[in-house]
Chains A and B, each alone.
Chain A
Amino acid sequence: MHIICKSQCGNRAALKRPKTGDALCKECFFAAFEAEIHHTISSSNLFRRGEKVAVAASGGKDSTVLAHVLKLLNERHNYGLELVLLSIDEGITGYRDDSLETVKQNRDDYQMPLKILSYEELYGWTMDRIVAQIGRSNNCTFCGVFRRQALDRGAKLLGVDSIATGHNADDIAETVLMNVLRGDTARLRRCTSIRTGGGEDTIPRVKPLKYSYEKEIVMYAHYKKLVYFSTECVFAPNAYRGHARAFLKDLEKVRPSVIMDIIYSGEQLRFKDTVKKPERGTCTRCGFVSSQQPCKACVLLEGLNRGLPKLGIGKKSKGERMIAKQNQELALRERANLVKNDF
């Protein structure tokens, strides 16, 4: 017994949409999925005609679907956008080198220019070497902070008007949950925004897949036979997010709308004026956007270059003590050298 597509096109239904519960055939699903993303883009005025947009491409399912759908909608609805792919090579052997091959496939399939920026060229360190220094704890901090800035640097280099990332509805719901659990009001405040940044000196980031369910993204990629890369990073998986994710997936099983409901809750939150807001500025050292002085990327990098890789981990005061101690030791050694040279 087969179920017929809800849109009465006469075809056999292929999937049940988690968002609506509708049984749709492949073609009607494609149409609905694409139309919703178009609606998200147009109703929130995500882009303007003539803009150059970098798609942050990892080779994973989300950015692959994002690149595919943006190209398609740009042509279908005549957005007038110039689309480029921007990838970051963290220097993780057995992970990023493979996924970049997928991005190159995207470049050829979608006929979009591709820019790959590496941690090696930006910071002088690959993740492989950072992990060799710091071990398997806190390495994701380095990777996350560096990637965030690397995308900004790449976007500046390419002269784009915005960076589109593949964050999907499930990702955003997870992030809302994590920020609630951590009491991180600064992030909670902005994590549901479809557009972030975009003051002077910063390039805005947009999330066209903000309301797209992960299941639908995977089904879309599967039915469209899009090539994507799906290996877990060889370094520590993000444990905390993993818990939030498992919890959310369990809830979704009983109540599929939970994803949209959590996003809605996040969007409607209002904070008291007394809740501290981080001040956005630019780093005095590197000039990129930061709410701290110097920015986290610069502190982490200084730690690596000084041979104090834990410098940027934990409290700022602890880091300052570490620097002071090292400077003192260096001064002592220098004095010892001078004494030696006297003889």
Chain B
Amino acid sequence: MGTPELKIILEFSAGAELLFGNIKRRELNLDGKQKWTIANLLKWMHANILTERPELFLQGDTVRPGILVLINDTDWELLGELDYELQPNDNVLFISTLHGG
């Protein structure tokens, strides 16, 4: 038995991927011993995969206004936003509305 892991999928679209090494889909295996909220996830993303200009993605402790967050295709505004607790196999999608027109 290894250490428990929390597997989730991150997706980026409409330009948000440009800030994350231009990778549109990532599978993550997070440390399953701790509780993961979106707030923790954003901190983890900042420390590990946010390669380009973090100020275009984060503002304070949350995402920059204009970036939409969908958890399993549902608007995070219906799910408690930063306080939402990630479940195994959750899909978290970040869509930028700040690009193009």
Least CB separation from A241: chain B residue: B101
B45 within 8 A of A: no
Known: A230-B15, A252-B65. A166 touches B101 (CB 8 A): yes
A229: chain B residues within 8 A (beta carbon): 100
A171 within 8 A of B: yes
Minimum distance in angstroms from A150 CB to a CB of chain B: 17
Bitwise, A215-233 to B at CB < 8 A (1) or not (0) is: 1001100110000111111
Minimum distance in angstroms from B7 CB to a CB of chain A: 22
B68 within 8 A of A: yes
A245 within 8 A of B: yes
Known: A14-B73, A215-B68. A230 touches B78 (CB 8 A): no
Give the interface size bracket for B toward A: 20 to 34
B101: chain A residues within 8 A (beta carbon): 58, 60-62, 166, 171
Contact B97 A215 (CB under 8 A): yes
Contact B95 A15 (CB under 8 A): no
Contact A218 B14 (CB under 8 A): yes
B87: chain A residues within 8 A (beta carbon): none
CA–CA, A23 and B80, complex, Å: 13
Bitwise, A229-261 to B at CB < 8 A (1) or not (0) is: 111110000000000011001101100000000
Known: A171-B101, A218-B14, A218-B68. A16 touches B78 (CB 8 A): yes
Closest 7 interchain pairs by CB?
A249-B65, A15-B75, A230-B14, A16-B77, A230-B100, A249-B66, A60-B100
Residues on A lying within 8 angstroms of B by beta carbon are 3, 12-16, 23, 58, 60-62, 99, 166, 171, 214-215, 218-219, 222-223, 228-233, 245-246, 249-250, 252-253
